[in-house]
């Protein structure tokens, strides 16, 4: 009695499971047909009928090949081999079929075929092609965004003040070793980083610049390493790829590396050592192949002494060390830099006279200290172009601080080294001042009147003093 009760419950459970499985198959949006080991059709779902046109009344309980003589599912039942992507056509209906044997305890008890209408297949194929096209466009877009503009041949001073540093840069480009570029702000550290990438074996891969000082420290980690979906409020669906992943196979340029907080420095050190990254909120380590170039305008050794920069990270980055000298230490490059800036501006002056620098203006440019380096020089030339009403840049077109700096330095130098009398010194200062004003204006009568007005004297007095000091 007890044994019979167990058999009944087991039978009831099996029937419930079969009903559940049958309901699941009927709900599938692909066409499904199932045969038993005797090739009898036991189940089809409505989608199978929609795709093939075969109704349950026509096929259920019958041998498959009695209804469909060319059915290949019987072969799958016999040879136990799966078949994928089989093209079939019944009348005007085209579809694709996947087939597999049903095996329990190493015995084949049936076989199942799953079919999808070719219209749906074509739609999915088009969608796949469209997504592949989008992916290709995105890759190309990323590639175009992160391609360097500069290379060593474009560096002004490569044969003069920067000759030695360019030589080191070319050597560094032939390796995958980390590079640390040091130099004041405006000296062109990124220009060298791009040139190293351009000359390297990674030239066709992304060059990704990151200004560590421009991104808030609380956001920098997610920007560098990315994050998984749901890591924090407002996190993007699907997560976000970090800049290290974007730079994979290429180069990442970490500008202002001295601004990284201490904790993030430790994570960067691990990336350099292990060549793997982990997104925020993630557990999976991702391998990356990225060349790291870092730059700073700070003294990292002093930061190490103050426990603001990790010593182990410094030595990990400082394999190739490059120091870019400031502009004041390589003033022989100034004329070439100015001519390069003017050449770019002159490209747009097709029918007009080209911009040029007055010979007296060069004294001001070559004498200035240039604490802002090349960036400051570029700004000064662009300012002067805006101030001139002609094509010639005169001293008067330069920013006031450049003019005052020159006057102060030349006057101070002359006074400190002179052994002349007070009268002689006074006359010398007057002569220099008048010469300065004359250099800032043209030679016409109208221009001479402007000089006299700026000096607060009459035109006749101006001519007398010019004659006195032999300034004609």
Domain harbouring 40, CATH code: 3.30.450.20
Q: Residue 55: pLDDT above 70?
A: yes
Number of domains in the chain: 3
What is the CATH number for 429? 1.10.8.60
pTM assigned to the model = 0.60
User: Which of 291, 325, 359 is the last residue in one of the domains?
Assistant: 325
| Mean pLDDT (whole number) for 188-217 | 92
341 and 197: one domain? no
Is residue 27, in this structure, part of any structural domain at all?
Answer: yes
What's residue 342's pLDDT? 94
359 and 310: one domain? no
187 and 209: one domain? yes
Nearest to 212 by CA among 241, 254, 180, 246: 254
User: Which of 303, 325, 347 is the last residue in one of the domains?
Assistant: 325
Helix (H) / strand (E) containing 247: none
**pLDDT-based confidence at 416, cuts 50/70/90?**
low
What's residue 23's pLDDT? 82
Per the structure, the complete domain to which residue 204 belongs is given by 152-325
Work out the burial of residue 238: count CB atoms within 10 Å of its CB; fewer than 13 is exposed, 13-18 middle, 19 or more buried: exposed
Dihedral (CA of 375, 376, 379, 380) sign: negative
Is residue 145, in this structure, part of any structural domain at all?
Answer: no
| Mean pLDDT (whole number) for 19-32 | 82
Is residue 376, in this structure, part of any structural domain at all?
Answer: yes
Question: Rounded distance, CA 405 to CA 411, Å?
Answer: 10
What's residue 382's pLDDT? 94
197 and 259: one domain? yes
The winner for highest mean pLDDT among 229-238, 350-359, 403-412 is 350-359
Q: Residue 3: pLDDT above 50?
A: no
Is residue 135, in this structure, part of any structural domain at all?
Answer: no
C-beta of residue 31 within 8 angstroms of C-beta of residue 47 = yes
283 and 335: one domain? no
339 and 433: one domain? yes
94 and 160: one domain? no
Question: Rounded distance, CA 444 to CA 30, Å?
Answer: 92
Residue 401 CA neighbour count, 13 Å, CB half: 8
382 and 296: one domain? no
Is residue 131, in this structure, part of any structural domain at all?
Answer: no
CA distances from 439 to 361, 454, 472 (A): 8, 13, 11
**pLDDT-based confidence at 379, cuts 50/70/90?**
very high
- HEC letters along 312-342: HHHHHHCCEEEECCCHHHCHHHHHHHHHHHH
Question: Rounded distance, CA 411 to CA 415, Å?
Answer: 6
What is the CATH number for 285? 3.40.50.300
354 and 438: one domain? yes
Q: Of 291-300, 389-398, 410-419, which range is least confident?
A: 410-419
Q: Of 84-93, 117-126, 335-344, which range is least confident?
A: 117-126
Is residue 9, in this structure, part of any structural domain at all?
Answer: no
345 and 314: one domain? no
What is the DSSP code string of 342-396? HHHHHTT-SSSPPPEE-TTHHHHHHHS--TTHHHHHHHHHHHHHHH-SSSEE-GG
157 and 283: one domain? yes
| Mean pLDDT (whole number) for 334-346 | 93
Percent of the chain with pLDDT over 70: 87
Question: Rounded distance, CA 407 to CA 402, Å?
Answer: 9
300 and 163: one domain? yes
> 456: how many CB neighbours lie within 10 A of its CB?
7
| DSSP letter, residue 259 | G
User: Which of 325, 355, 379 is the last residue in one of the domains?
Assistant: 325
**pLDDT-based confidence at 373, cuts 50/70/90?**
very high
Which ranges of 146-183 would DSSP assign to H, the alpha helix?
163-173
Is residue 236, in this structure, part of any structural domain at all?
Answer: yes
Is residue 362, in this structure, part of any structural domain at all?
Answer: yes
Tell me the per-residue pLDDT of 271-323, one tens digit each, with 9 for 90 and over: 999 999 988 888 888 999 999 999 999 999 999 999 999 999 999 999 999 99
- Residues 6+ positions from 146 with CB-CB distance below 8 Å: 206, 207, 208, 246, 247, 250
What's residue 360's pLDDT? 86
């Amino acid at each position: 009695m007890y044994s019979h009760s167990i058999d009944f419950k087991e039978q009831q459970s099996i029937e419930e499971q079969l009903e559940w499985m049958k309901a699941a198959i009927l709900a599938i949006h692909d066409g499904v047909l199932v045969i038993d080991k005797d090739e009898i059709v036991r189940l089809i779902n409505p989608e199978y009928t929609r795709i093939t046109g075969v109704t349950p009344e026509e096929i259920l309980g019958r041998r498959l090949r009695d209804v469909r003589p060319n059915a290949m599912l019987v072969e799958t039942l016999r040879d136990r081999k799966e078949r994928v992507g089989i093209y079939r056509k019944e009348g005007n209906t085209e579809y694709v079929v996947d087939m597999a044997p049903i095996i329990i305890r190493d015995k084949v008890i049936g076989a199942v075929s799953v079919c999808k209408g070719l219209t749906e297949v074509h739609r999915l194929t088009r969608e796949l092609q469209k997504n592949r096209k989008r992916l290709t466009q995105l890759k190309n877009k990323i590639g175009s965004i992160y391609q360097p503009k500069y290379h060593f041949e474009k560096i002004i001073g490569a044969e003069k003040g920067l000759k030695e540093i360019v030589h080191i840069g070319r050597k560094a480009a032939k390796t995958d070793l980390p590079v640390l570029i040091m130099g004041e702000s405006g000296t062109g550290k990124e220009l060298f980083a791009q040139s190293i990438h351009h000359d390297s074996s990674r030239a066709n891969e992304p060059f990704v610049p990151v200004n560590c000082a421009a991104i808030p420290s609380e956001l920098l980690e997610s920007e560098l390493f990315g994050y998984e979906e749901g890591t924090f409020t407002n996190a993007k669906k699907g997560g976000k790829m970090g800049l290290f992943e974007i730079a994979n196979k290429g180069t990442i340029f970490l500008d202002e590396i001295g601004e990284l907080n201490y904790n993030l420095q430790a994570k960067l050190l691990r990336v350099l050592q292990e060549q793997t990254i982990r997104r925020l909120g993630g557990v999976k380590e991702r391998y990356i192949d990225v060349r790291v170039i870092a730059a700073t305008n700070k003294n990292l050794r002093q930061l190490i002494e103050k426990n603001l920069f990790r010593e182990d990270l410094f030595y990990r980055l400082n394999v190739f060390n490059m120091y870019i000298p400031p502009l004041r230490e390589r003033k022989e490059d100034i004329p070439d830099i100015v001519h390069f800036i003017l050449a770019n501006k002159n490209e747009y002056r097709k029918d007009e006279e080209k911009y040029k620098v007055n010979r007296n203006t060069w004294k001001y440019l070559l004498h200035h200290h240039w604490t802002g380096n090349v960036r400051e020089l570029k700004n000064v030339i662009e300012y002067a172009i805006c101030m001139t009403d002609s094509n010639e840049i005169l001293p008067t077109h330069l920013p006031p601080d450049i003019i005052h700096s020159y006057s102060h330095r030349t006057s101070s130098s002359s006074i400190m080294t002179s052994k002349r009398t007070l009268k002689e010194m006074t006359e010398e200062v007057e002569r220099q001042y008048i010469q300065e004003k004359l250099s800032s204006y043209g030679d016409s009568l109208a221009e001479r009147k402007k000089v006299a007005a700026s000096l607060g004297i009459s035109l006749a007095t101006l001519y007398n003093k010019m004659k006195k000091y032999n300034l004609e």
